[in-house]
Structure 1
Amino acid sequence: MRPAVAALLLGLVILLWGANWPVMKVGVELMPPVTFAAARMVLGCATLFLVAAAAGQARLPSRHDRRIVVWVGLLQMAAFVLLIALALQIVPAGRSAILSYTTPLWVLPMAMLVLGERLTWMKGAGLVAGLAGVAVLFNPAGFDWGDRGVLLGNGLLLLAALAWAVNIVQVRGHRWEGTPLSLGPWQALVASLVLVPAALLLEGGRGIDWSGTLAAVLVYNGPVSTAFCFWAMVTVTRALPAITTSLGTLGTPVVGLLLSAWWLGEPLTWTNLTGLGLIGSGLVLVALSESRGLGNRRPGSGRG
């Protein structure tokens, strides 16, 4: 794929992922959250298997990749999607998008401890800026510390970011044998095998508001946001420099915040805007430091 076409595809993914935050907010209002997470993953899993088959990459993971496939399915897919769905019942979609994208901040200290990565001045500055952004989001003037529901919802979002961060560190320390497209369907299958029984056990008797809106939300979340965007990011990553992809995806919470304000009427507060600015600045610094290749990964700890 030509770089210009890949850049357009990256822009499309940013828009689709950003728009999915208000879409998911609507989804958890029409369907119980665990059931919503399970339905999204089942639809995404089925679509990924079809895409992998069409690309000639539908094959079993190698023995070497199977353990990491399970961990990606459990942490990045099942836990992250489930926690986000639960949190969206309480927390506005725009704020949820910001907090979920704090993941790279939590990767940094874990990668230093587990993978022996070195803390550069740029990464340190990025971490400080990002944590300052989180502090702004939780300042008493813009956050109700006395509301247990609000505390729970925001805590679930940070837990989701932490689960994804743990998985990123696992991925960095693994040498892959299969391709992302050949392993993606199996990762989604692991998540589905966790989420479907959980939905039946916890929400089997709860009603679902079936409608054309809900059908559109599920199609958007399964085939589009999960399957298509997964394939698109694999394609973009191969065609564009890593720093371009890393910085580009930071547009996702911006789109999520703006579309949530426009579509759902969520207020664009100074707390959210300032927090987003600081967190975004921190992530830019971390991404720029990663792109310089300063030798802060020990041998054998690459993505593979």
Structure 2
Amino acid sequence: MAATKLSARDLTLLALLTVFWGVNWPIMKIGVAELPPLYFRTICIAGGLVVIWCWARVMSVPMSVPAGAWPVVLKLAIPNVIAWHLLAIVAIKMLPSGRAAILGYTMPVWAVVIGLIAFNEKPLRRHWWGVLAALAGILLLLSSELTALTGSPLGTVLMLTAAAAWGYGTHLMRRYLTDMPIIALTFWMLAMTVVAMFAMSIVFEMPRWRMPGTIEWASIVYNMVLAVAFCHVVWAMLARKLPPAASGLSVMMIPVLGVFSGMWLLDERPFWQDYVALALILIALSSVFLTPKAAAPAP
């Protein structure tokens, strides 16, 4: 797996994605506090699709799916967005937002394991150190939440399964290439997710449907524009450019932001474990961003 150097534009997009997705964990928790989770997420993604479509039109991006590409789009959509969104939003209803974020971003660990088992990949040594540092930070944060976690076993299993599906999906994004622009591919994968999520919401949640309130609409609009439209397009682009271990580690700051923004928005209080975990995850990030300098060519 070759070292990857990020451009200034990539770093800027990655920073924005990290902030928007990190803060979104408590925002989603607020949104599903009283609304059915699948119903809430269906509205968010459907609205996000409108934003992505308008974005594509302004940029004159073709949105059609090439002949024969539908099976590939579906294969990419199932782990990357359908399984992730279905499982994660239900788990968020059961877990505190910070804990859900921590469990969700075990994805890089799953990506490395799946890469070894299913794709015979060999990550760079510095990626292994990064994974270990990130995993140590995650375990440290989890250590102070074990009592709560044992009280929500189903939520924990759902969130870890969502993370594993996403980890597998990062490999598929690099291996199944299509001629479609990233925006078009993202649009149709999310469209498939809306269909699946809406169908399940009809079956399991329809009697509890209602019009969202003011705060719930604020959560929905944030998700439509930033968490769904902007972040999904950026993530799909970066996931194709970077190895799974690198793309996973590069967003390991998201659960840290999820924890701390949850403390701010939901009135939680940090412990010493939170600060140590933050330092460990920053070390993990450095294993991706601080690439070794190439040796100077011989005269």
What TM-score comes out, normalization by structure 1 length?
0.80
Alignment partner, residue 143 of structure 1: 146
Q: Is the 8 A contact 1:105 1:127 kept in 2?
A: yes
SS across alignment from 2:189? helix
Post-superposition Cα deviations, 1:86-114, rounded to whole Å, max 9, x if no partner, equal 11122211222222122111111211233
Q: Is the 8 A contact 1:260 1:266 kept in 2?
A: yes
Alignment partner, residue 62 of structure 1: 66
1:237 and 1:116 map into 2 onto residues whose CA distance is 19
Alignment partner, residue 160 of structure 1: 162
Alignment partner, residue 295 of structure 2: none
**Equivalent residue for 1:21, pick from 5, 21, 25:** 25
Matched, 1:193 2:195: yes
Q: What is the CA-CA distance between 1:24 and the residue it aligns to?
A: 0.1
Alignment partner, residue 218 of structure 2: 216
**Equivalent residue for 1:106, pick from 110, 126, 129:** 110
1:145 and 1:62 map into 2 onto residues whose CA distance is 48
Matched, 1:174 2:183: no
2:239 and 2:161 map into 1 onto residues whose CA distance is 27
Q: What is the CA-CA distance between 1:205 and the residue it aligns to?
A: 0.4
Structure 1's consecutive aligned runs of 4 or more residues displaced over 6 angstroms after TM superposition are: 3-6, 234-240, 242-247
Alignment partner, residue 100 of structure 2: 96
Q: What is the CA-CA distance between 1:63 and the residue it aligns to?
A: 3.8
**Equivalent residue for 2:90, pick from 86, 89, 109:** 86
Matched, 1:269 2:271: yes
CA RMSD in angstroms comes to: 3.4
Post-superposition Cα deviations, 1:212-245, rounded to whole Å, max 9, x if no partner, equal 11111111111221112334557889999x9998
Q: Is the 8 A contact 2:48 2:228 kept in 1?
A: yes
Q: Which runs of 5+ in 2 are unaligned?
A: 1-6, 293-299
Q: Which runs of 5+ in 1 are unaligned?
A: 293-304
**Equivalent residue for 1:33, pick from 25, 34, 37:** 37
1:156 and 1:239 map into 2 onto residues whose CA distance is 28
2:220 and 2:127 map into 1 onto residues whose CA distance is 38
Q: CA separation of 1:169/1:210 partners in 2, compared to 1, >3 Å: closer, same or farther?
A: same
Percent identity of the aligned residues?
26
* Greater Cα offset, 191-200 or 203-212: 203-212
SS across alignment from 1:89? helix
1:210 and 1:114 map into 2 onto residues whose CA distance is 43
2:129 and 2:229 map into 1 onto residues whose CA distance is 35
Q: CA separation of 1:121/1:28 partners in 2, compared to 1, >3 Å: closer, same or farther?
A: same
Aligned length: 286
